[in-house]
Every structure is written in structure tokens, then in C-alpha cells.
A and B are shown apart, each in its own frame.
Chain A
């Protein structure tokens, strides 16, 4: 990574903020062009890492990406300056524009235009929904959560923040239950093996052992995979997560 001045960071992100319409993903292609190809401040791999962070941490994706890049380039102040740069165009334009909107809000033609725009907004949200729904795995856990969250948020006044927190908690519970089920299966399989051979003692001491041994037994024993594909999925996922 090159040494970059704070002013350069500010200008780059100010420009990016100014020329991005819509949301985060529109900005990312511009940032790739600007930061990787043109300026070569970061590599494509850096960008990918930052995108993972931006998507899986709270906040606006475009801002998260800016903060992340800024931080990598120049530490704390880099992060602050990049964030400021990407937000400032919005701030100036929207503040100015909102006074104009206030002034003409009662104009009949303005209202007529927004009759059309309101309908279009519905479509934009539908498209945002289908885009995100496509990324979900098709399983009962996701299906139940989508429907439950939809029902509660639409027909009650329940605070949506609590729904998000509950979702996170359920995600952890689901993972723990799946892990417990897999461990149990692996242990049963292991005890079967120890009765015949004695080679399973190596995977039983470390804290990640249950998962790893489950992974190994899966490799050794194809019958388990065919018997329960859902469990096998979970094994590979947990094996990955526990492998750090």
C-alpha cells in the first residue's frame, strides 16, 4: 500500500460521493476503478476484504467501505477523512435541495410528479427485496424468519430493532443446536470405530476436536454424507469456522 495524503483521500472520496447515485453497490464499482486501477492505493484482494467488512458490519455500505479504505491507508484520521469526504456531497446537496422542496411542496404539478415517483419507489423497494432474498439459502430456518419478521413488522408496532436482535440470537442458537447434533453423531460414530480400531484418540483433545473429528469421519465414511445431507452441510460450514 502506498503512502497517501489525507487531502488526497478526502478529494477521492468526495468525488466518489458526488458521482454515486443510489447506494453502496453502485459506489463500489466506482471505487474499484478509482482505487485499484487508477491510483493503485489498494489491491483487488484488499478491496474484497473491505467489502466483506462493509457488508457484515452495521451501517451504510458505501460509508463502511470508505471508512475501511481510509483506515487502511492512513489509520484513524484516514478513516475520519474518508467518511467525511463521502458524506459531504450528500450533506450539501440534500440540505440545499430540501429548502427548494419545501418552497414548492404545495405546487400541483410537483405533487403530480410525485404521484408517479411514489409508485416508482414501490418498485425500487420490491427490487431491493428480490435482490436480497436471492442471496438467502433455501431452508426452513430462513423461511420461518422471513415470514415471522415480515408479519410482526407489518401488522404490529413492535420495534424492528428488537426483531433484528432476536434474529441474531436465533442465528447463534441455530448454530449451537446444529453443532450439538453433529457432535453427537460424530461421537456415536467414533465410539463405533474405537470398538474396532483405536485410531480416533488423536482428534479428541483440542477444543475444536469435535468438529474436526466430525469432518474427518465424514471423509472416511461416505455413508454419513448420504444419510443426512443437511448435517453434512453443517459439518463443512462449522469445520470452516472452527478452523481458525
Chain B
């Protein structure tokens, strides 16, 4: 049953993602939360891992969520692998079907005014959704108690100033260009992990 659900949710995610990896994120966040598949900290951790391991970001994320969901079944390791397969297959299947059809009809597809206007309407929505992901992820890291759909005073009780400082320092760093190339995201991730370890170590020593 869990596998069918995983397939269905990821098929929908694959079908409604336009614009690639990060456009998929808002859909993933919502599904994962609604189904209770991962905690938001687990998801955010894994976004970092997915970005710094080989392969398309969105596929990495799908595979990982599949492993997690499959792992909760009674099938153990086999369940994890089956889950990974289910999610990856489901997210790729809409692409496979649609691309084959569209490649055949490419010339008509490219100039069709309805296709163009649907895309014209979807693009700003996707941009709004990614901005929403910025705020949602930002809040769950910096204000972990805050629920954006039901804001209360208690939500502000816990404040991760360390994360905020890292964001403030790394954001300009991500914009710096060396020899006309921006610093690669993997380097940023490794650096930020190092900063996390150093800060934690420093805190431990002072305590």
C-alpha cells in the first residue's frame, strides 16, 4: 500500500514539475509533510546531500525519499530498495511518456499558442512557489518551532542564530565570481559543513 502511495505521489510530482529540480521542491515539501514521510530537518539535510552527490538533484531526492518510505515497511532493506525504485521510476515515467509524444509533434508543440500561454501562466506560479520554499525552508532552519500556516507567539521561542549567521556569511560568498565563475555549490556545502563542525566544537570547548 505504501508503495502504491509513493508511486502515485511521485508520479504527480513528476507530472506537475515544470522548470527542473528546484521547481520540484515545493511539491516535494508539501507531500512529504502531509504524508509524514520525513521530518523537515531530514528533508533539508538531504537537499544538501542531493546537491553534492552525483546525478540530477531531483532524482537523488526522489530516490532518498523512496528509501525512507520503503524502509518503514516490514520488508526491511528490500523495502528500502523497492521504495527507491518506485519513487525514481514514478518521477521519470511522466517525462518518458510526454517527451516521446512531444518529440514527435515538436514543430507544432513549439509554436502552439495554447502550450505557450499555459507555460506563460505556470512560470510565475513556479517562481512564487520557489520563493515560498525559500521562506518555508528558511523558517524551519532558523525558527524551527514556527508553523507558517498557523503563526503563534510560541513559534518564535527558539531562534537558531548560528544558522542565520551562516546564511548571512555564505550568501555573499555564493555570489562571488572567481575567474568569471561562481563558487560551485558543492564547495559551498562542504565549507558550510566545516563551519558547522567548527562552531559546534568551539561551543563544546567553551561550555
Contacts and interface: CB of A to CB of B under 8 A. Distances in A.
A119 B192 contact: yes
Interface in A43-64: 49-50, 52-64
Given A101-B49, A164-B126, A59 B92 contact: yes
A87 interface: yes
Contacts of B103: 50, 53, 68, 71-72
Interface string B35-62: 0000001001111111111111111100
A226 interface: no
A61 B116 CA distance: 18
Interface in A179-214: none
B106 interface: yes
Contact of A243 (B44, B111, B160, B174): B111
Interface in B15-37: 15-27, 30, 34
A142 interface: yes
Interface bracket on A: 35 or more
A1 interface: no
Nearest to B59: A90
A167 B17 CA distance: 13
A135 interface: yes
B163 interface: yes
A112 B196 contact: yes
B55 to A, nearest CB: 3
Nearest to A70: B99
Contact of A56 (B26, B48, B115): B115
B134 A122 contact: yes
A11 interface: no
Given A159-B30, A244-B111, A71 B129 contact: no
Nearest to B133: A125
Interface string B54-90: 1111111001100110010000010011001100100
Interface string A144-185: 011111110111110111011111111110111000000000
A116 B123 CA distance: 31
Contact of B195 (A80, A108, A116, A141): A116
B149 A155 contact: yes
A23 B56 contact: yes
B22 A113 contact: no
27 contacts: A22-B56, A22-B186, A52-B110, A58-B94, A64-B95, A83-B95, A86-B55, A90-B88, A94-B64, A94-B67, A97-B53, A102-B71, A114-B193, A118-B48, A120-B189, A122-B134, A123-B174, A124-B51, A135-B123, A143-B124, A149-B125, A149-B126, A150-B128, A154-B132, A241-B116, A244-B107, A244-B111
